[in-house]
């Protein structure tokens, strides 16, 4: 039976690779958004080698002590989540989930010896993220839904802002189960008010439906909605496909037709690359960013025929259709494929030296997949005594960390010292992108000097106790 599994994580911070999940919630619905199974809500015991970001704890209200008391070890936590997301014909869905929650899932599955991708496609499975559907609805079919703005007047697509504006119950924002219920309610709202739009976006979450709309051979303009497009145009653009991405078979490079194409025609690839990857604040005031964008057809991009953007909507969004037409005429026959492909040809990046972060260092070799299952199913004594002959060099290092975090009794003396040294480095050496103990306590000091509520002060006190305990345990 086809179903949608709506889910959400609360975590120790905003980095899916370096931070860790503390809470997960999921609700399964049918494709009519009717709930068909009991909700799942789980806490995960916090690691002793990763410190929680204090601001994350203040937002969620989840202290490490709460997660320790209520939680289960990460291997069991991920086993339960994987069992849900890997059920046949499941569409894993969420709110801003492609950029965050799905990355948390991938890194956590990888860390716990699962294939990080199979649940996304095997047995008719898929993924979906409704945040860009909300952006499309506001841009083109806003009727029937209340659309909140930020204090500066720009559109807000924060989950809690949308639920408040539309009278949707959302008690305990940033509590995983509450956020999942709110996400389903928003999906129902769009489905009720704009059923054709909802059905179109849902059906076009699959790359087989997306690819024909982005045809590099015809260079036919298409409509695209994304949080990476200018907010002053409602995160909406008419774009022209230029060429396939040279390093990713699932990506197409496209150009925003509202932008001046002359730099694309006259500048060389190195100059274009420098402008593309320079931070906006570092660009000269008179130099706009080159309006090239890689569109990943396997990440549920919202794309549609350009005909959807009528004159009224274009005017409302500040998109000059005549200007876009002129730029399309210039670019549709321009011989720029090789140059644009060169812009996106990055120098060979060195593989992540930290095994936890090496998720994208390659797919799991088929020869190693039975060993992944063997590790997952092994008792501590098996982990201690068995040799796992991985062909992928990432996995022996991951195995040391897996044992150190969850089965320290399986470490021999040499491994124990290796693990303790590694844990010390993770907690104390700056420059790794992780929160060190010094930074952790400095942030607590900074927050304590501000005007805190009694609830927030209790969380800060709990975090200080947690940090002190980490120090005493041999960091």
Angstrom distance (rounded) from CA 3 to CA 315: 39
pLDDT value of residue 431: 87
Of the candidates 185, 194, 144, 143, the residue with the CA atom closest to the CA atom of residue 163: 185
Walk me through the domains of the chain, giving residue ranges and CATH numbers: 3-129 (3.30.420.10), 131-195 (no CATH), 208-343 (3.30.1520.20), 377-472 (no CATH)
Answer yes or no: is pLDDT of 352 > 70: no
Q: Which strands, in side-by-side order, build the sheet including 292-296?
A: 292-296, 251-256, 236-244, 222-225, 302-305
Q: What share of the chain has pLDDT > 90, as a percent? A: 91
Answer yes or no: is pLDDT of 236 > 60: yes
pLDDT, mean over the chain: 95
Name which of 40-49, 173-182, 273-282, 437-446 the model is least confident about: 273-282
Q: What are phi and psi of 363, to 5 degrees?
A: -75, 155
Answer yes or no: is pLDDT of 320 > 90: yes
Distance of CA 131 to the CA centre of its chain: 12
- Going by their DSSP bridges, the two strands 90-94 and 40-43 should be labelled as unpaired
Termini Cα distance of the chain? 49
Distance of CA 465 to the CA centre of its chain: 31
Q: Which strands, in side-by-side order, build the sheet including 21-29?
A: 40-43, 21-29, 3-11, 90-94, 126-129
Answer yes or no: is pLDDT of 288 > 90: no
- Give the angle 391-392-394 at the CA atoms, nearest 5°: 140
Angstrom distance (rounded) from CA 352 to CA 6: 31
Which tokens hold the place of 306?
A: 């350009």
Answer yes or no: is pLDDT of 348 > 90: no
Concatenating the DSSP letter of every residue in 261-303 gives: -HHHHHS-HHHHHHHHHS-GGGS-TT-PPP-EEEEETTS--EE
Answer yes or no: is pLDDT of 42 > 60: yes
Angstrom distance (rounded) from CA 167 to CA 162: 9
Q: How many residues does the chain have?
A: 475
pLDDT value of residue 289: 84
- Report which of residues 285 and 428 the model is more confident about: 428
pLDDT, tens digit (0-9, with 9 covering 90-100), for 89-138 = 999 999 999 999 999 999 999 999 999 999 999 999 999 999 999 999 99
pLDDT value of residue 473: 82
Average pLDDT of span 55-67: 97
Rounded to 10 degrees, the C-alpha dihedral 317/319/320/326 comes to -170
Cα within 13 Å of Cα(32), Cβ side: 3
Instruction: Select the highest-mean-pLDDT range: 74-78, 279-283, 346-350.
Output: 74-78
pLDDT, tens digit (0-9, with 9 covering 90-100), for 368-407 = 999 999 999 999 999 999 999 999 999 999 999 999 999 9
pLDDT band at 350 (very low <50, low <70, confident <90, very high): low
pLDDT value of residue 278: 85
pLDDT value of residue 118: 97
pLDDT band at 442 (very low <50, low <70, confident <90, very high): very high
- Give the angle 17-22-25 at the CA atoms, nearest 5°: 105
pLDDT, tens digit (0-9, with 9 covering 90-100), for 239-264 = 999 999 999 999 999 999 999 999 99
DSSP assignment letter at 361: G
Residue whose structure tokens are 């991708």: 117
Which tokens hold the place of 196?
A: 């054709």
Average pLDDT of span 8-35: 98
Average pLDDT of span 71-95: 99
Angstrom distance (rounded) from CA 9 to CA 101: 6
Answer yes or no: is pLDDT of 349 > 70: no
Q: Note whether 42 and 77 are within 8 A (CB).
A: yes
Q: What residues does 10 pair with on adjacent strands? A: 23
pLDDT value of residue 347: 57
Write the CA distances from 81 to 9, 112, 117, integer angstroms: 11, 12, 14
DSSP assignment letter at 432: S
């Amino acid at each position: 039976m086809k179903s949608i599994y709506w889910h959400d994580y609360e975590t120790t911070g905003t980095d899916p690779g370096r931070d860790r999940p503390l809470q997960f919630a999921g609700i399964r619905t049918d494709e009519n958004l009717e709930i068909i199974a009991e909700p799942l809500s789980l806490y995960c015991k916090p690691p002793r080698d990763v410190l929680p970001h204090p601001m994350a704890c203040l937002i969620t209200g989840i202290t490490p002590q709460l997660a320790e008391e209520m939680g289960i070890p990460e291997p069991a936590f991920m086993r339960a989540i994987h069992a849900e997301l890997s059920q046949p014909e499941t569409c894993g869905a969420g709110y801003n989930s492609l950029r965050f929650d799905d990355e948390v899932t991938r890194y956590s599955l990888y860390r716990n010896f699962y294939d990080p991708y199979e649940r996304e496609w095997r047995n008719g499975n898929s993924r979906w993220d409704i945040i860009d559907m909300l952006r499309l609805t506001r841009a083109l079919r806003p009727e029937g839904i209340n659309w909140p703005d930020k204090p500066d007047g720009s559109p807000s697509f924060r989950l809690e802002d949308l639920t408040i504006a539309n009278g949707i119950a959302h008690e305990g924002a940033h509590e995983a189960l509450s956020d999942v219920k709110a996400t389903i309610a928003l999906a129902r709202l769009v489905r009720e008010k704009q059923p054709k739009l909802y059905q179109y976006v849902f059906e076009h979450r699959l790359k087989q439906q997306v690819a024909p709309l982005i045809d590099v051979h015809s260079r036919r303009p298409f409509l695209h909605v994304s949080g990476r497009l200018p907010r002053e145009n409602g995160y909406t653009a008419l774009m022209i496909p230029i060429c396939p991405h040279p390093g990713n078979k699932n990506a197409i490079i496209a150009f925003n037709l509202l932008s001046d194409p002359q730099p694309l025609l006259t500048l060389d690839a190195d100059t274009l690359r420098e402008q593309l990857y320079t931070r906006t604040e570092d660009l000269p005031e008179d130099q706009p960013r080159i309006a090239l964008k890689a569109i990943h057809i396997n990440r549920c991009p919202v794309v549609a025929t350009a005909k959807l953007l009528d004159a009224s909507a274009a005017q409302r969004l500040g998109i000059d259709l005549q200007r876009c037409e002129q730029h399309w005429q210039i670019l549709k026959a321009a011989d720029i494929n090789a140059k644009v492909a060169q812009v996106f040809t990055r120098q060979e990046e060195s593989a992540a030296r930290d095994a936890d972060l090496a998720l994208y260092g390659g797919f799991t070799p088929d020869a190693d997949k039975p060993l992944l299952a063997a590790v997952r199913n092994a008792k501590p004594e098996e982990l201690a005594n068995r040799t796992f002959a991985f062909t992928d060099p990432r996995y022996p290092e991951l195995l040391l960390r897996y044992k150190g975090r969850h089965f320290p009794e399986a470490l021999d003396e040499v491994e124990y010292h290796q693990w303790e040294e590694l844990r010390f480095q993770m907690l104390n050496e700056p420059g790794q992108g992780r929160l060190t103990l010094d930074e952790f306590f400095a942030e607590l000091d900074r927050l304590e000097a501000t005007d805190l509520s009694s609830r927030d002060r209790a969380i800060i006190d709990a975090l200080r106790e947690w940090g002190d305990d980490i120090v005493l345990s041999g960091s």
